[in-house]
Amino acid sequence: MKFTVAIDGPAAAGKGTISRAVAARFGFAHLDTGALYRAVGVKAGGEGGDPVAAARGLTPADLAREDLRTLAAGQAASKVAVIPEVRQALLEFQREFARRDGGAVLDGRDIGTVICPEAEVKLFVTASAEVRAHRRWLEVGGDAAAVLAEVVARDARDMNRAEAPLKPAADAVVIDTSTMSIEAAVAAACDEIAKRMR
Protein backbone atom coordinates (compact mmCIF):
# COMPACT_ATOMS: atom_id res chain seq x y z
CA MET A 1 0.00 0.00 0.00
CA LYS A 2 1.28 3.47 -0.89
CA PHE A 3 -0.11 6.28 1.24
CA THR A 4 1.72 9.56 1.77
CA VAL A 5 1.01 12.16 4.43
CA ALA A 6 2.72 15.49 3.65
CA ILE A 7 3.09 17.82 6.64
CA ASP A 8 4.46 21.26 5.84
CA GLY A 9 4.65 24.50 7.75
CA PRO A 10 6.89 27.20 9.25
CA ALA A 11 9.57 26.74 11.91
CA ALA A 12 8.57 25.15 15.23
CA ALA A 13 4.89 24.85 14.31
CA GLY A 14 4.67 21.34 15.77
CA LYS A 15 5.20 19.40 12.53
CA GLY A 16 7.72 17.02 14.08
CA THR A 17 5.61 16.13 17.11
CA ILE A 18 2.47 15.66 14.99
CA SER A 19 4.37 13.61 12.38
CA ARG A 20 5.84 11.24 14.95
CA ALA A 21 2.45 10.73 16.62
CA VAL A 22 0.69 10.15 13.30
CA ALA A 23 3.37 7.70 12.15
CA ALA A 24 3.05 5.71 15.39
CA ARG A 25 -0.76 5.72 15.25
CA PHE A 26 -1.04 4.49 11.62
CA GLY A 27 2.17 2.44 11.49
CA PHE A 28 3.73 4.66 8.80
CA ALA A 29 7.43 5.38 8.36
CA HIS A 30 8.46 8.97 9.21
CA LEU A 31 11.05 11.20 7.54
CA ASP A 32 12.01 14.55 9.10
CA THR A 33 13.20 16.27 5.91
CA GLY A 34 14.42 19.29 7.86
CA ALA A 35 17.11 17.05 9.33
CA LEU A 36 18.51 16.55 5.82
CA TYR A 37 18.91 20.31 5.32
CA ARG A 38 20.24 20.77 8.85
CA ALA A 39 22.85 18.05 8.24
CA VAL A 40 23.90 19.65 4.94
CA GLY A 41 24.14 23.10 6.55
CA VAL A 42 26.24 21.86 9.47
CA LYS A 43 28.47 19.67 7.29
CA ALA A 44 29.14 22.43 4.75
CA GLY A 45 29.87 24.91 7.54
CA GLY A 46 32.44 22.56 9.00
CA GLU A 47 34.17 21.77 5.73
CA GLY A 48 35.02 25.18 4.37
CA GLY A 49 31.66 25.14 2.70
CA ASP A 50 30.60 23.28 -0.39
CA PRO A 51 26.92 22.69 0.36
CA VAL A 52 26.26 20.92 -2.95
CA ALA A 53 29.04 18.38 -2.29
CA ALA A 54 27.76 18.00 1.28
CA ALA A 55 24.24 17.26 0.00
CA ARG A 56 25.44 14.80 -2.63
CA GLY A 57 27.64 12.99 -0.10
CA LEU A 58 25.25 12.98 2.88
CA THR A 59 25.70 9.89 5.07
CA PRO A 60 23.70 8.32 7.93
CA ALA A 61 26.47 9.52 10.29
CA ASP A 62 25.81 13.14 9.20
CA LEU A 63 22.15 12.66 10.09
CA ALA A 64 23.01 11.18 13.50
CA ARG A 65 24.95 14.26 14.68
CA GLU A 66 23.81 15.61 18.00
CA ASP A 67 24.06 19.31 17.07
CA LEU A 68 21.39 19.32 14.35
CA ARG A 69 18.65 20.84 16.53
CA THR A 70 20.56 24.00 17.52
CA LEU A 71 19.50 27.49 16.35
CA ALA A 72 22.76 27.77 14.39
CA ALA A 73 22.00 24.52 12.54
CA GLY A 74 18.51 25.85 11.70
CA GLN A 75 20.00 29.02 10.22
CA ALA A 76 22.65 27.05 8.32
CA ALA A 77 19.89 24.77 6.97
CA SER A 78 17.77 27.60 5.63
CA LYS A 79 20.82 29.16 3.94
CA VAL A 80 21.77 25.99 2.05
CA ALA A 81 18.06 25.26 1.36
CA VAL A 82 17.87 28.16 -1.13
CA ILE A 83 20.43 26.45 -3.42
CA PRO A 84 18.64 24.55 -6.24
CA GLU A 85 21.44 21.93 -6.58
CA VAL A 86 21.20 21.14 -2.86
CA ARG A 87 17.43 20.60 -3.13
CA GLN A 88 17.92 18.53 -6.29
CA ALA A 89 20.47 16.28 -4.56
CA LEU A 90 17.97 15.49 -1.78
CA LEU A 91 14.92 15.08 -4.02
CA GLU A 92 15.04 11.45 -5.13
CA PHE A 93 15.65 10.08 -1.64
CA GLN A 94 12.59 11.96 -0.34
CA ARG A 95 10.39 10.90 -3.28
CA GLU A 96 11.31 7.26 -2.85
CA PHE A 97 10.66 7.48 0.86
CA ALA A 98 7.24 9.07 0.19
CA ARG A 99 6.11 6.24 -2.07
CA ARG A 100 7.52 3.33 -0.08
CA ASP A 101 5.18 0.47 0.72
CA GLY A 102 3.33 0.63 4.01
CA GLY A 103 2.73 4.38 4.13
CA ALA A 104 4.95 7.37 4.91
CA VAL A 105 4.76 10.68 6.73
CA LEU A 106 7.19 13.39 5.64
CA ASP A 107 7.43 16.77 7.32
CA GLY A 108 9.12 19.81 5.83
CA ARG A 109 8.38 22.88 3.72
CA ASP A 110 7.75 21.60 0.17
CA ILE A 111 6.45 18.06 0.63
CA GLY A 112 2.91 18.75 -0.62
CA THR A 113 4.01 21.20 -3.32
CA VAL A 114 7.20 19.69 -4.81
CA ILE A 115 8.30 16.38 -3.31
CA CYS A 116 4.96 14.59 -3.36
CA PRO A 117 2.19 16.63 -5.00
CA GLU A 118 0.22 13.37 -5.29
CA ALA A 119 0.22 12.83 -1.48
CA GLU A 120 -3.07 11.39 -0.25
CA VAL A 121 -3.13 13.81 2.70
CA LYS A 122 -1.58 17.29 2.84
CA LEU A 123 -1.51 19.19 6.08
CA PHE A 124 -0.13 22.69 6.61
CA VAL A 125 0.61 23.09 10.32
CA THR A 126 1.10 26.63 11.52
CA ALA A 127 0.87 28.91 14.59
CA SER A 128 1.64 32.54 15.41
CA ALA A 129 5.33 33.49 15.39
CA GLU A 130 5.20 34.22 19.15
CA VAL A 131 3.75 30.81 20.00
CA ARG A 132 6.23 29.02 17.76
CA ALA A 133 9.18 30.96 19.20
CA HIS A 134 8.03 30.09 22.72
CA ARG A 135 7.88 26.38 21.84
CA ARG A 136 11.35 26.53 20.30
CA TRP A 137 12.65 28.38 23.37
CA LEU A 138 11.34 25.58 25.61
CA GLU A 139 13.36 23.19 23.44
CA VAL A 140 16.66 25.10 23.12
CA GLY A 141 16.59 27.65 25.97
CA GLY A 142 18.78 30.79 25.87
CA ASP A 143 17.62 34.32 25.08
CA ALA A 144 13.89 34.35 24.18
CA ALA A 145 14.16 37.45 21.96
CA ALA A 146 16.99 35.85 19.98
CA VAL A 147 14.92 32.70 19.48
CA LEU A 148 11.98 34.77 18.14
CA ALA A 149 14.33 36.66 15.81
CA GLU A 150 15.75 33.37 14.53
CA VAL A 151 12.32 31.92 13.82
CA VAL A 152 11.15 35.08 12.02
CA ALA A 153 14.34 35.36 9.92
CA ARG A 154 14.20 31.71 8.91
CA ASP A 155 10.51 31.89 7.94
CA ALA A 156 11.20 34.95 5.78
CA ARG A 157 14.06 33.17 4.00
CA ASP A 158 11.99 30.01 3.51
CA MET A 159 8.92 31.87 2.18
CA ASN A 160 10.76 34.22 -0.14
CA ARG A 161 13.20 31.88 -1.87
CA ALA A 162 12.73 31.19 -5.58
CA GLU A 163 13.06 27.41 -5.34
CA ALA A 164 10.31 25.44 -3.53
CA PRO A 165 9.23 28.30 -1.22
CA LEU A 166 7.28 27.55 1.94
CA LYS A 167 3.56 27.84 1.15
CA PRO A 168 0.50 25.65 1.60
CA ALA A 169 -0.38 23.43 -1.37
CA ALA A 170 -3.68 24.51 -2.95
CA ASP A 171 -5.33 21.35 -1.57
CA ALA A 172 -3.69 21.36 1.88
CA VAL A 173 -5.76 21.39 5.08
CA VAL A 174 -4.47 24.14 7.38
CA ILE A 175 -4.17 23.33 11.09
CA ASP A 176 -3.44 26.40 13.20
CA THR A 177 -2.05 25.12 16.51
CA SER A 178 -1.70 28.56 18.20
CA THR A 179 -4.34 27.78 20.80
CA MET A 180 -4.42 23.98 20.51
CA SER A 181 -2.95 21.42 22.87
CA ILE A 182 -0.62 18.91 21.28
CA GLU A 183 -3.25 16.22 21.82
CA ALA A 184 -5.86 18.28 19.97
CA ALA A 185 -3.48 19.00 17.08
CA VAL A 186 -2.59 15.31 16.77
CA ALA A 187 -6.30 14.37 16.88
CA ALA A 188 -7.09 16.89 14.10
CA ALA A 189 -4.30 15.45 11.93
CA CYS A 190 -5.43 11.86 12.59
CA ASP A 191 -9.04 12.77 11.68
CA GLU A 192 -7.94 14.12 8.28
CA ILE A 193 -5.92 10.98 7.58
CA ALA A 194 -8.66 8.60 8.71
CA LYS A 195 -11.15 10.41 6.44
CA ARG A 196 -9.00 9.72 3.41
CA MET A 197 -8.25 6.11 4.32
CA ARG A 198 -11.89 5.06 4.15
Residues in contact with ligand CDP by the rule CB under 6 A? 11-12, 15-16, 33-34, 37-38, 74, 77-78, 81, 108-110, 154, 158
Q: Which is nearer to ligand CDP, 28 or 79 (CB)?
A: 79
- The least distance separating ligand CDP from the CB of residue 198, rounded to whole angstroms, comes to 28
- The least distance separating ligand CDP from the CB of residue 2, rounded to whole angstroms, comes to 20
Q: Which is nearer to ligand CDP, 149 or 194 (CB)?
A: 149
- The least distance separating ligand CDP from the CB of residue 169, rounded to whole angstroms, comes to 13
Q: Which is nearer to ligand CDP, 13 or 193 (CB)?
A: 13
Number of other residues whose CB lies within 10 A of the CB of residue 16 = 18
How big is the chain, counted in residues? 198
Picking from 9, 32, 10, 33, the residue whose alpha carbon sits closest to that of residue 133 is 10
Sign of the dihedral defined by the CA atoms of residues 160, 166, 171, 174, in that order: negative
Q: Which is nearer to ligand CDP, 11 or 98 (CB)?
A: 11
Q: Which is nearer to ligand CDP, 15 or 194 (CB)?
A: 15
How many whole angstroms separate alpha carbon 70 and alpha carbon 154? Answer: 13
- The least distance separating ligand CDP from the CB of residue 194, rounded to whole angstroms, comes to 25
- The least distance separating ligand CDP from the CB of residue 70, rounded to whole angstroms, comes to 11
